[in-house]
Amino acid sequence: MNWQSFILSVLFVMTACEKIIDYPVSPGELNVVVNSILNTDSTISVNISKSVGILDTSSAPYIHNASVNLYENNEPAGSMKYQGNGFYALDGFVPEAGIEYAVAVNAPGKDNIRASCMIPEPVPIISADTILRLIDNDVYYKSYTYDVILTVRDPPGLSNFYEIILFQKTLYTYPDTVYSIYSRRFCTDDPVFEYYRINNDVYPLALNLDTEMLNASAVYFSDKLLDGKKFTVKFSLEQWNINGMYYIYLRSLTKDYYLYLASLAYYNQASGNPFSERVQLHSNISNGLGIFGGYSSAADSFYVGMQ
């Protein structure tokens, strides 16, 4: 039991009642939501939906009849076509780093929704090394793991925002079919990381104390303490079924996308705590909600074959 649970338990014991009240929550003018994460490896797509009142029993609906136009360095790049489930795409259009992309959306009841971003250049990985480490020295058995040391040089004079993804790919055959299994768990206590993703949620990386407890599928950090420096970050591989091929990705994120993920992390942290201040999600959509961001990637891979 942690201390927050302790406090909540005390309050719970004292709680006299909880009841539904007739409290007017006017939604006000509903918003058009534009979400798009561009990357230099896949076709651009934009998701358009509409917000609904917080007490509305239906889910937020996708907008299928919006006008969505893409601009490349302020020049029209084309009109995006509806693909279903709120997605609009421009066939075969893959964005590049260093070019400003803008999207202009006109949706029924709401026009002139705009957003723009420029994908940063990828930051190369200098090396991804592994070091064998003894972690359990029992009289009955000994166990080891591998530490992964990633070395990167941060570009000087630029504000960089990073995401690191590390996963293992193994093949599994049953009965005659070959399946790929992706394991995305690693441990880290490197203090440079600010946020982490576990499953499909992002959280602030606060009080990272127990190295065995923090299993992440991605970590996020900025270069505010590293600007222009060559730096290393360390991960420990999960012991179970450690052998296999590993892939590591270093993503360079747009600032707005990073701020969006940070606000999402704080939003998740505050969620469910009635005494915390509510968190407003970061948005760079003018006259609407959502995020128009992106990233570029650098990748490396290595093989672990422990005897």
Partner 1 sequence: MIKLIKPYNLKIIVFVIFTLSGNISPMFAQTAVVSGIVEDAGSGEKLIGAGIYNDDKTHGTVSNNYGFFSLTVPAGLTTLHFSYLGYKETVVTANLQKDTSFHIKLVPSLLLEEVTISSDYLLKNIHSSQTGLIELPVKSLITLPYIMGESDLLKAIQLMPGIQSGGEASSGIYVRGGSPDQNLFLLDGVPVYNVNHLFGFVSVFNTSAIRNVSVLKGGFPARYGGRLSSVIDIRMKEGNNKEFHGEGSIGVVASKISLEGPIIKDKTSFIVSARRSYLDVLAQPVVKAIDDFATVRYYLYDANAKINHQVNKNNRIFLSLYLGDDVGFYRYNDKYIYDEIKYTRQDKTGIQWGNITTALRWNSIISNRLFANTTLTCSRYRFKLYDTDKKTTEPARPSINSRYSWTYLSGVTDYSVKSEFDYAPSPGHYIRFGGSYTYHDFNPGTNEYHYQGADYADMVDKQFGTASITASEISFYIEDDFDLAERLKVNAGAHASSFFVRSEKYYSLQPRISARYLFAKNLSVKGSVANMVQYIHLLTNSSVSLPTDLWLPATDQVKPENSWQYSASVAFPVKNTLVVTTEVFYKTLNNIIEYQDGQTYLNSNADWETIVETGKGWSYGLEWLIEKREGKTTGWLGYTLAWSNRQFTAINKGEVFPFKYDRRHDISLAIIHKLSEKLDIGLVWVFGSGTALTLPAQKFISALPLFNPQESTYYWEHSVNQEIEYIKSRNSFRMPSYHRLDLSFNFHKPLKWGERTLSLGLYNAYSRNNPFYIYIGQNYDWYGMGSGEPVVKKVSLFPVIPFISYNFRF
Residues 209-248 that bind partner 1 (CB under 8 A): 209-211, 217-218, 247
By beta-carbon proximity to partner 1, the closer residue of 209 and 305 is: 209
Report 98-127 residues binding partner 1 (CB under 8 A): none
Q: Based on CB atoms, which residue is closest to partner 1, 106 or 297?
A: 297
Q: 99 by DSSP, 3-state: which?
A: coil
91 vs 136, beta carbon nearer partner 1:
136
Name which of 74 and 131 has its Cβ closer to partner 1.
131
Burial class (CB in 10 A: 0-12, 13-18, 19+), 114: middle
Q: Which of residues 246-275 bind partner 1 (CB under 8 A)?
A: 247, 249, 260, 262-267, 269-270, 274-275
Sole binder of partner 1 in the list 60, 126, 226, 245 (CB under 8 A): 60
Buried b (16+ CB within 10 A) or exposed e, 257-270: bbbbbbbbbbbebe
Structural contact between residues 163 and 152, judged by C-beta atoms closer than 8 angstroms:
no
Please report where in the chains the tokens 């049953």 appear, as a residue: 174
- Binding residues with partner 1: total (CB under 8 A): 97
Identify the residue among 206, 228, 229, 286 touching partner 1 (CB under 8 A).
206
Evaluate whether 40 touches 99 at the Cβ level (below 8 Å): no
What is the C-alpha to C-alpha distance for residues 3 and 162, in angstroms, rounded to an integer?
Answer: 33
Region of 175 on the Ramachandran plot (φ > 0 left; ψ -120 to 50 alpha; else beta): alpha
Is 164 a residue that touches partner 1 (CB under 8 A)? no
Q: Tell me which of 75, 138, 157, 303 binds partner 1, using CB under 8 A.
A: 138
CB of 130 to partner 1, least distance (A): 19
Query: Which residues ranging from 13 to 42 are in contact with partner 1 (CB under 8 A)?
Result: 14-23, 25-28, 30-31, 33, 35-37, 39, 41-42
**Residue 289 touching partner 1 (CB under 8 A):** yes
Q: How far is the CB of 299 from partner 1 (least distance, A)?
A: 7
Paired tokens of 132: 């064998």
How far from the centroid of its chain's Cα atoms is residue 136's Cα?
33
Per the CB < 8 A criterion, the answer to whether 117 and 100 are in contact is yes
What's the CA gap between 244 and 306, in Å, rounded? 9
Nearest distance from C-beta of residue 257 to partner 1, angstroms: 9
CB of residue 242 to partner 1, shortest distance in Å: 17
Q: Kindly tell me which of 73 and 241 has the beta carbon lying closer to partner 1.
A: 241
Q: Whose Cβ is closer to partner 1: residue 93's or residue 247's?
A: 247
Q: How far is the CB of 43 from partner 1 (least distance, A)?
A: 10
The reply to whether 130 sits near partner 1 by the rule CB under 8 A is: no
Going by the DSSP 8-state scheme, the letter that residue 286 receives in this structure is B
Distances (CA, A) of 19 to 9, 14, 22: 19, 15, 10
H/E stretch holding 111 reads strand 110-118
| Min dist. Cβ of residue 107 to partner 1 (A) | 13
